[in-house]
Chains A and B, each alone.
Chain A
């Protein structure tokens, strides 16, 4: 069964600095997708970025980038130039091509300090 691990319950970062949120995963399927979602205090789930297992390059979306290390089975989210509005819960998730369900990690609460 697939498993997602986020080892940082909480992280702090100074405004305008970069921060890395860790995510490791376990799967035996060679084809899978990795996702990061943001959940602000208002509660909605916001999709941020996606990485496919066969993608050669790390995904980037604006200030978000995904540091994908396939051999280590890690998919860390990097947020550059942190803003106060980045304070939220962040969840890593994975879907396998042969198994349609999407599983989530426990999340990391990021707090951006002014």
Chain B
């Protein structure tokens, strides 16, 4: 059971470089999410997609873009990485209804130098 799969697991970028974090889920969920986790701040929502074809900003969207490629896949792009984007990134998915839990990927540890 794959669940939610994120790639890569680790990445080091230089300031100004771009990259895309990939996320795929095999649970036929409608909603997908991208979070970042920083020490002492919990998980903060970057973007989410309530259903295929829609995306919405979360708490901290600046510096990021997303694409809901299809129902399975939701990617997060950093166009010009900055040291402030050093973080652990989590992708998650859930059914559309707000009253069910979200399932998380293993996370991507990103360092921007």
Chain A interface residues (CB < 8 Å from chain B) = 6, 9, 31-33, 35, 37, 43-45, 47, 50, 52, 91, 93, 95-107
Contact = CB atoms under 8 A, between A and B. Distances in A.
A11 B50 CA distance: 35
A44 B56 contact: no
A45 B104 contact: yes
Binding site of A, secondary structure by majority: helix, strand, loop or mixed?
Answer: strand
A47 B90 CA distance: 14
A32 B107 contact: no
A97 B104 contact: no
8 contacts: A33-B99, A43-B107, A47-B102, A93-B43, A97-B99, A99-B98, A102-B98, A104-B43
Interface in B43-75: 43-45, 48, 50, 56, 58-59
Size category of the B interface is 20 to 34
Contacts of B81: none
A100 B50 contact: yes
B45 A102 contact: yes
A91 B43 contact: yes
A50 B98 CA distance: 11
Contacts of A104: 35, 42-45
Nearest to B109: A43
B42 A107 contact: yes
B94 A103 contact: no
